[in-house]
Structure formats: structure tokens, C-alpha cells
Structure 1
Amino acid sequence: MLDKHSHSSSKQVDIFSDDQRQLHFAELCNALYERELTSLSQQKINNVSLLQRKLGGLKHHVKRAADSLLDKESPLQLDIHNASWQGKQAAKCMADKVDVDKTEQWFYDNIQIGRSIPIHVDTLGAEHIELDSVDRIDFEQGKLHANKFGWFAFNGSFLEEEIRQLDILGLKLLKPTKAVFTAACCGHHWNHRGKSQPRALSLRELMLSLSINWKTFK
């Protein structure tokens, strides 16, 4: 039977735990607000009502992201101060080590609408892996549509070269693995010298990272 002292100690631990969570929640919210407001200030938004909608929904999205980051079970470390995932970075980007047949088979077997997928982005002198989501699937033609980047074949090939952004040299759909998702979630970045400064994930990418099942990579 618990005595009064034991019961009081137990309550104190709970209180301290709750206080720590609230502190972490507040720090995450601050980091996310700062990042998103900086991002919005750099966007060319001519439509005032669109900007108002983005700002109006920011509070909800930031709080939801902060809560989810604290609750997410992940093999990655959560950096509270920067609202980012931390994990060991490979010396080189693993995008060149892909097997197109295995990639194609994986997407035939596992792809679903809404699923987070990793896209290798090769820009001028730099490369990273970015999270996107699936919004359309065409099994007959073996292709999917990523919400941001467009159509990819299940074997990884980008199918819309004519509308590729000017500064992007190449895009490739990758088969999800722990190494690939770690690189995407942590914002790992490489240039011709090797590892470079990690990129900060957008709020959208952070939310996509929270949907990953690290046991199945789906």
C-alpha cells in the first residue's frame, strides 16, 4: 500500500514531466513559427487573400506539428531548439545506389494515395532527398503523381522533364529505406566536396515525416 509520501512523490514526477513537455512544446512552436514566417516572407505572393489564409492557418499547423513531433516514435533524435530531426549522415548521397527493378516492384506492391515518398533532387552543384506525397496512381502505366514534383515512373524515372525547374538538373523517385528516409527527414545535403550544411525542412515536409512507419518504411 502506498503511503502519502510515495503518492506525493509520484504526483511531483508527473508534474515535472508535464512541465518539461510544455517547455519543449513551446520551444518547438517558436522554432516552427520563425521558420515558416521567414519562408513566407521570401515567397512571391501577389494574392493578399492567399497570404491571409496561410497566416490564418499557421497557428493550427504549428501546434499540430509540435504536438506530433513530441509524440512520434522514431529512430531519429528530435532537436527541440530547431524543430528538426537529427541522424547520422552518409558520406555520399545514396541515390546512385538504386536498383530500378527493385524500386519498380516496391512501388507496385506498396504504393497508396497519401503515402510519403522520397525524391532525389539534384540541383546546381548540390543534391538532397526531399519528402513528397502521392496524390494520383496509374497502375496500368506504372506511374504515380507526387504532389509537388509531378509524375514519376515506378522505376524512379521523372516523366516531366519539359516542366522541370530551371535550377534542377535531375529528379528521381527512390525506393524507401531507412537510410533514404533518414536523409530526407534530417535534411541531409551534399555538394561536390561531400557533406554540406543540412537544409531546414518545411512544415509540410515535417508533417510528412511524421507519417512514416519506421518498421516497414511505408
Structure 2
Amino acid sequence: MHDLLSNALEHSTQFSELCSALYEREINLLANTQLNSKEQIQARLKSLNYYVKRTAGSMLAVQSPLLLDLQNASWTEKQSKQLPIKEQTDADIQKWYQSNKLCLGLVVPVLIKDREKSRIMIDCIDRVDEENQRFRTNYCGWFYLNKTPSHQDESYTLLKPSKKVFTAACSGHQWQGNNRTQPLTLPLRELLLSCQINWRNLRLPVSLKSTIFN
């Protein structure tokens, strides 16, 4: 009985710490975001409580090999010197997605490159069009499996799910040229998706079973 109470108290404290860090981060982000109307700000604020609690509960509930930084509400892991995509060829990536049954909610990594920095984004499949050999992700849009490049925006490159790739994505690792640079703080959307990664079987998503502590 004592162990159960101690465990519940520990998780409740951790939950509160995570929520506090997430609230602070999101409020600062909102304060520096240009929105067109007060209605947009009100809508963001109304939903903030739900998503902060859901994210914090999910981060505590998920079985992840990554270290959880409670103070900063983030995943942490040692960063590689270069992008961990050396083993990923266009043919291998295409083969992985064509040979696996793609299901809704599956978390996928997407390499984002601009002139200054590169990082791996966490996205998820929300529509599959088998007839046209394509699927849509929640943020990046449509990816084609019979074209190279597979996306109309060449700054988006679909990657094959792997532990190395997801570790970099969840930890917000970034590179400037061939050098490591300051990690990015993930938005709530990507933090939530990081909790849907099935580390035991990257071909399947896991359902979020967040525990909300009051």
C-alpha cells in the first residue's frame, strides 16, 4: 500500500512539473506568435489546458528508451556528429513503405532541410491512397511512393523509421552543415506524436493511454 501511494505521489509531482514547463513554454510561444484575431488567441488558450495535460500524461505513460527531462519537458539523448541518415537510400526508403501495410496514425520521420539547418520532424499518416501509391501526413501533406523526389516541396524528405532517426527527432537534434547545433524545443504536436512511437515495432503505432493526474 505504501509503495502504491509513493508511486502515485511521485507521478503526480512529475506530472505537475511537466505541465508547468509545458505551460511556460507554450505561453511564451503564443506571446511571440502573430495571430490575425483575438478569436484565434482565445481558441489556442481554450485548448491549451487539454493538450498540455494530455502531453504530460503521455510522456509519463509511454515506454520510451529516451531520457525524460522533467524540467524542460523534453526527451534527451546524446547527439550524433552528423545526421543519422547515411544508411538511408531512396530505394530503401521506397521499399520500406511499399512493403509494409501503412495504417492511420503511424508515426513517420521527415527530414527538413533549409539553407541554414537540418532536422528530422515527427509526423504521422492520416490518409492512405493505395490506388495512387501515396499517403498524406498530418503536417507535411502528400508523399508519393512512385516518384523521386516523393514530395512536391523538396525541403521535405521522407525517411525510413529507425531507432536512430526517431531518437534524433524526439530529442530535437539539429545540424548546421556538417556540425551539430543547439537542439530544437519540440512543439506540443510533435511531443504528443513522440509518445505514439512503437519502439518495439516501428511498423505499428501505439494508442495513447494518457493518465491525467489531478
Tell me the TM-score range normalised by the shorter chain: 0.7 to 0.9
Residue aligning to 2:121 = 130
Superposition map of 1:43-192 within 5 A: 43-108=33-98, 109-154=100-145, 157-161=149-153, 170-192=155-177
4+ runs of 1 displaced by more than 6 Å? none
- Aligned partner of 1:36 among 26, 30, 40: 26
Letter in 1 for 2:70: I
RCO greater where, 1 or 2, for CA within 8 Å and sep 6 or more? 2
1:217 and 2:198 are equivalent in the alignment: no
Secondary structure of the 2:123 match is: strand
Letter in 2 for 1:208: L
1:152-205 per-position Cα deviation (integer Å, ceiling 9, x unaligned): 2237734223xxxxxxx7210000000011111110111125111110010010
Q: Distance in 2 between matches of 1:38 and 1:158?
A: 35
**2:151–2:157 Cα contact (<8 Å) kept:** no
Moved more, 97-106 or 115-124: 97-106
Letter in 1 for 2:183: P
Q: Please list every run of 5 or more consecutive structure 2 residues that lacks an aligned counterpart in the other structure.
A: 204-214
Q: Which structure has more helix as a fraction of its residues?
A: 1
Cα-Cα RMSD: 1.8
TM-score (norm 1): 0.85
Q: CA deviation at 1:96?
A: 4.5
Q: Distance in 1 between matches of 2:121 and 2:80?
A: 15
**1:95–1:120 Cα contact (<8 Å) kept:** no
Q: Could you say which structure has the larger radius of gyration?
A: 1
Q: Distance in 1 between matches of 2:101 and 2:94?
A: 10
Residue aligning to 1:23 = 13
TM-score (norm 2): 0.86
Q: Structure 1 vs Structure 2: percent identity of aligned residues?
A: 36
